[in-house]
Structure 1
Amino acid sequence: MIDLDDIDHQLIRSLARDATQSASALGRRYGLSQPATWRRIRRLEEAGILRGRRLRLNAESLGFGVTVFLGIKLATKGRVSLEDFERAVAAIPEVQTVEHVLGLYDYRLRVVARDLPDFERVLRRRIMTLPGAGEVEANVLLSEERLPGPLGL
């Protein structure tokens, strides 16, 4: 673990809001040269604090108007490997995230679909046929009020 100073925290917050900002623009904002800013960003990446930069797509604008969170309990623990389940679920294009969790369910999935009939098709033909898939609970997303942001830095 590396020690972070106030400027590191400010860089992390700024990049969490908009990862496309240049090192020179960030440096101007925080009183650093472009090379000094770039070195700090590289140090944060090498330490594993910054893990890449992602493009966030607007699923609704692309025709995917329904988001559903699924809790999946594996039916036959031990009979099917977790790796087989994870590999199979990751191959479903409508599945946006796969999280192995502790609790009532073994996995939590974020699934997008064009509409509810499309979601039903994905659920019946793809998700319920996964190796080891057992009990499933679905929660339809109504609205998303807070997007993931920086940790309390």
Structure 2
Amino acid sequence: MLDDADRRILRQLQADPAASAAQIAERASLTQATCWRRIEKMQEEGVIRGSHAVINWHALGYSVEVSLRITLDKSQPRAFEDFAAEARKIPEVLEIQTFLGQVDVRLGLIARDMDHYQDLYRTRILTLPHISDLDALMHIARIKYDETVPL
């Protein structure tokens, strides 16, 4: 169970992931040793799963983002496992989500341009196993994207 001090630490980590333990401790009104122990404990408990760099893929020359909604042939016993194993091998696939309902899987992928997307679609996506239906949604604008958690 998280207490107020843990929540203060987490708020500071979300606001500035690159901050040092000393900076987080000061901003959370804790000693550095206490702050560090609490951070380690939250890491061990899986509350904090890690930190990562957020890379702007637009700056790397990718300009197309697509969501693919996929229905799998569920008469195949390993449809989900086989599909996911092959989809993971495509570097341009940034996200794989599974659902309950009409759509089984959503792939989020990026491409440099429409020619690159068309090549990916024809040579990599359509060859994925067990697809029974596929719908492509071209992203136009991201209205909100936030990985912070209300604390």
Aligned-pair CA distance for 1:98:
0.7
Residue type matched to 2:109 in 1?
V
Aligned counterpart in structure 1 of residue 8 of structure 2, from 3, 7, 10:
10
Matched ranges for 1:4-153 at <5 A: 4-153=2-151
SS across alignment from 2:96:
strand
Alignment partners' CA distance in 2, 1:10 and 1:89? 39
Alignment partners' CA distance in 1, 2:49 and 2:6? 15
Alignment partners' CA distance in 2, 1:62 and 1:94? 12
Residue type matched to 2:103 in 1?
Y
Q: Please list every run of 5 or more consecutive structure 2 residues that lacks an aligned counterpart in the other structure.
A: none
Deviations 1:73-131 (A, max 9, x none): 11353254422211100000000011111122111111000112211111111011011
Residue type matched to 1:131 in 2?
P
Aligned-pair CA distance for 1:46:
1.3
Percent identical among aligned pairs is: 34
Residue type matched to 1:89 in 2?
A
SS across alignment from 2:59:
coil
SS across alignment from 1:61:
helix
Alignment partners' CA distance in 1, 2:121 and 2:143? 26
Alignment partners' CA distance in 1, 2:101 and 2:92? 24
SS across alignment from 1:52:
coil
Give the count of matched residue pairs. 151
TM-score (norm 1): 0.90
Change (3 A) 1:146 1:133: same
Contact 1:15 1:21 in 2 (8 A): yes
Alignment partners' CA distance in 2, 1:17 and 1:135? 41
SS across alignment from 2:65:
strand
Deviations 1:113-150 (A, max 9, x none): 01122111111110110111221111112122322232
